A and B are shown apart, each in its own frame.
Chain A
């Protein structure tokens, strides 16, 4: 049995905190550990920030829909939007030293998403763009 939760908000930076709170509250209720919750919030925040600042750029922003599905083994986060789709590409580990030496810095967000999630899938279709992030739950330690 899985539990499903959904929240829909306008794609604006003001919504980021609300979306993180939503993940925080549902994860707490489902007994997800702190570290996993933080990683889910981080991945969702980075992805939504990209959608808000690039996907919905130059228009009155549309919706961001966040679906959270939690079962005994994993947490699946689906982020749906209806803005411009992104070009699929490989994430690159950011080079902080180069960044410090005055080279352009970007790509941290994408790198974090891939680093903290177990699976990342992106689809742009007629019905909208959907980013699916999967995080396996830490196995419960059974005391002997």
Chain B
């Protein structure tokens, strides 16, 4: 194919087949054509279950006593929910350590996107045995939506001191690598070549970089943040001790930086934490590292 007039494509970036070509009949047809989540959701319950079972690493399930094939727990009381309604293009899998536990310790949320690819909306992996912080509701009981609408500063401060990142209510389970490998296998099964997401925080972008993601948007912002946290930078200067989340040594760790960014420090460089988008090509590691040598 010949390359590159200076003209950009006028149509949106949509290079995958049309949704009608992505039907579940592809299970019996051309193995190279992608299948959408909407198509999988149109299957009868058992077939759907068989396919979505592939999303969860078996080792994660056996760890909490859930049978990876039947998805039943024998003794532990752990339970797993699959939300993949027909006529929707999304799937959500939730695992709780007990049926009466209101907090999930594992949540995975995927959906078809408008470019006929798949988005990872939400991935939560928290250690159910670790302390629970109420950073998700403010003092008046409003949901904080990860601290984006309301904030529970007292509880956030406790969480920060306990080593959590913003948006976490418990310490991480440390299994993101296994889960993302499994996701690669699942995407391959559906003949998708990539998955994209919007990183919720600076720390999550950092984690996803290490898991092989590159940036569709926001690589420069990450570089700018790294640069401005160096000596003489605007973010370094804004770590002035004016709040518990802006202590002078916080540039040294990804978590410290993330709390400062959560606290609004990007204003110092006229930027905001929004409109970042990351992408991972199945089976490939992009090798992006925007904060070399900075520990988590």
Contact = CB atoms under 8 A, between A and B. Distances in A.
Contacts of A54: 6, 8
A10 B219 contact: yes
B117 A59 contact: no
A93 B3 CA distance: 14
Consensus secondary structure, chain A interface: mixed
Interface in A52-83: 54-55, 57, 59-63, 65, 80, 82-83
Contacts of B287: 6-8, 65
A91 interface: yes
Interface stretch (B78-86, B146-154, B273-281): B273-281
B34 to A, nearest CB: 8
A7 B38 CA distance: 36
B5 interface: yes
Nearest to A57: B8
Given A11-B220, A62-B214, A63-B215, A120 B3 contact: yes
A61 B217 contact: yes
Interface centre among A10, A12, A125, A126 (most CB of B within 10 A): A126
B2 A65 contact: no
Contacts of B281: 80, 127-128
A60 B4 contact: no
A60 B219 CA distance: 7
Contact of A61 (B116, B220, B288): B220
Nearest to A51: B4
Interface string A114-144: 0000001111111110010000000000000
Contacts of A50: 4, 6
B91 interface: no
Given A85-B15, A127-B282, A62 B5 contact: no
A97 interface: no
Contacts of B220: 10-12, 60-61
A interface, how many residues as a size bin?
A: 35 or more
B115 interface: yes
B16 interface: yes
Given A82-B214, A85-B9, A85-B13, A63 B286 contact: yes
Interface centre among A50, A106, A113 (most CB of B within 10 A): A50
Interface centre among B115, B221, B287 (most CB of A within 10 A): B287
B161 interface: no
A10 B215 contact: yes
Given A8-B287, A60-B276, A128-B281, A86 B193 contact: no
A125 B279 CA distance: 13
Given A8-B286, A65-B214, A85-B13, A126 B194 contact: yes
A43 to B, nearest CB: 11
Contacts of B289: 8
A59 B277 CA distance: 11
Contact of B5 (A55, A87, A120, A127): A87
Contact of A86 (B8, B115, B276): B8
Interface string B67-85: 0000000000000000000
Contacts of B89: none
B63 interface: no
A89 interface: yes
A85 B223 CA distance: 24
Given A54-B8, A55-B8, 8 more contacts: A8-B286, A50-B4, A86-B5, A86-B8, A89-B7, A110-B5, A126-B192, A128-B194
Interface of B: 1-9, 13, 15-16, 34, 115-117, 192-194, 214-223, 275-277, 279, 281-282, 286-290
